[in-house]
Amino acid sequence: MAVGFPAKFQEEFPLPSQDKVQLGASILTAAEQLNWELFSLTENSFTFVSRMSWTSWGEKITISILEDEISIISCCAGVQIVDFGKNKENVARLRKELDNALLSPDEGAIVRYHNLLNSLEDAAEQQEIDANPLIPNKVFLITPLLIWINVAIFLVMVIGGGIHAITPDPGELIAWGANFKPLVFEGEYWRVLSSNYLHIGVIHLIVNLFALLQIGVFLEPLIGKTKFFVAYTIAGIFGSIISLYWNAPVVAAGASGAIFGMYGLFIALLLTRLIPKKTRSALLTSMVIFVAYNLLNGLNPGIDNAAHIGGLIAGLVLGFCFYPTLKKPNDVSQKIVAYAISLSLLFVVSAFALKNTTNELSVYQKNIEEFAYHEEQALIFMNDPNQGKETIHAFVANIDYVAIYHFKQAKTALLKNNQLELNDFQKERNSILLDYCNLRIESLELLKRALKEDTDKYDPAIERTMDKIEEIISTLTNS
């Protein structure tokens, strides 16, 4: 019987020959046989709590694995001064069950012991992350680094580059590396990556980085630093490519495609059995609601929803491909296959998207060049001082087959632009040029009639038409 405040009993005995893992699993098995609850666990110590009973208010039993011995301390809880031999009995019962467990190792106990250690390590790491989410550490490195890199680039753009912090100019964003279809198709393919690190104002930056932090604290510790960074980069690039495929030539920037990729990756993993069911259901619901809300919000003008969807698809693909490697992290062949499949799928889709993407601005410029060529040929004929010296019949024929022909070809080139997704300025300019072509053709048709009929009755109409042409030329020159 032990007496103290509180009462306790301590005993040491030699360290068994089994390795630490088997010993730890055996201690766990012995405590389970005694119906004790695990209170805390480290690699070298266990603390259990015994059940309350008529003869005991419950004891705390601490097992410490020392260098060459094991120490067991059973201590009364509360204010028990006399233990009536309960603590000594606890030690004796534990030693007996431990001897039995060491003689007959339980494979299931070894697995449970590993899982408990991992969960405790994860909890400690998560506490460190929660306490300092913006400070990089060995487990949570990429997310805070990405946040600080994006902040640093934005500050350099605003302070060093003089870009407006709220509403930056599109031309300045292009100069810094924003995604812009005409320039990408002229060989500046790096824009599909660089645009992921630029933001269109401080509000855009804050919203994106908050979303990145929210997903990063869950996902990066789960899949690891390398997979997180690879997935972030691939999703961002894929989102930029889908943006090029889907949108008209617009200036696009922001990390949202890459961030949606991270949410897509996490949703894919939540659809597997990698995460415990209870946790999985709650997280999956919140992730799906977040993604659905932001995709619906992306229908508003000025938001690049194509990049969001592209990043989300890339993340889903990567998540399902990464799953086997997370189940068997030491299987190198699984990793190779996972990366090969995911990269191949995304490469094929990216190649298809780029191949079938129309560079509207490039096509528009080519059509304008074609218009300019035909206009020039028609004007050369009209300004030639030798024209009109031949017979009237020959001159009329040349007006028809040279001047009118070329203006009709110029009009055809402009009509092609109506099939393109152009900005308002391009649409207006193209419409004015079409009016110009129609007026040129109208004036030449009037001139033909006047020559054929040998009359001056068409002169007022020709003069009015020429005045309209001069107005258009003046408008185009001054715009």
pTM of this prediction?
0.61
Shared-domain flag, residues 426 and 449: yes
Shared-domain flag, residues 415 and 313: no
State yes or no: is 104 an active-site residue: no
Mean pLDDT of 215-231: 89
Shared-domain flag, residues 172 and 255: yes
Shared-domain flag, residues 159 and 299: yes
Q: Which tokens in the block code for residue 270?
A: 């939540």
**Confidence at residue 261, expressed as pLDDT on a 0 to 100 scale:** 95
Q: Which of 302, 324, 355 is the endpoint of a domain? A: 355
Q: Does residue 146 lie within any of the structural domains?
A: yes
The pLDDT tens digits for 23-82 are 888 888 888 888 888 777 777 888 888 776 655 556 788 888 888 888 998 887 654 566
Mean pLDDT of 18-27: 83
**Confidence at residue 452, expressed as pLDDT on a 0 to 100 scale:** 86
Q: Which tokens in the block code for residue 314?
A: 């890339």
Shared-domain flag, residues 263 and 191: yes
**Confidence at residue 478, expressed as pLDDT on a 0 to 100 scale:** 77
Q: Which of 295, 329, 355 is the endpoint of a domain? A: 355
Shared-domain flag, residues 372 and 469: yes
Beta bridge partners of 11: 72
Shared-domain flag, residues 378 and 340: no
Number of structural domains in the chain: 3
Confidence band of 349 (pLDDT split at 50, 70, 90): confident
Which has the closest alpha carbon to 422: 435, 431, 412, 409? 431
**Confidence at residue 405, expressed as pLDDT on a 0 to 100 scale:** 92
Q: What CATH number should be reported for the domain holding residue 66?
A: 3.30.310.80
Q: What CATH number should be reported for the domain holding residue 299?
A: 1.20.1540.10
User: What Rg value do the Cα atoms of the chain yield, rounded?
Assistant: 38
The domain of 279 spans 138-355
**Confidence at residue 57, expressed as pLDDT on a 0 to 100 scale:** 56
Helix, strand, coil proportions of the chain in percent (round to 5)?
A: 65, 10, 25
Distance CA 94, CA 16 (A): 14
* pLDDT score of 127 more than 60: no
Q: Does residue 121 lie within any of the structural domains?
A: no
In the predicted model, what is the mean pLDDT of the chain? 84
**Active-site annotation holder among 195, 199, 204, 308:** 308
**Confidence at residue 199, expressed as pLDDT on a 0 to 100 scale:** 94
Q: Kindly report the number of other CB atoms within 10 A of residue 189's CB atom.
A: 14
Write out 324-348 in H/E/C secondary structure.
HHHHCCCCHHHHHHHHHHHHHHHHH
Shared-domain flag, residues 314 and 434: no
* Residues whose CB falls within 8 Å of the CB of residue 32, separated by 6 or more in sequence, listed in order: 109
State yes or no: is 256 an active-site residue: yes
**Active-site annotation holder among 50, 56, 195, 256:** 256
8 A C-beta contact, residue 221 and residue 166: no
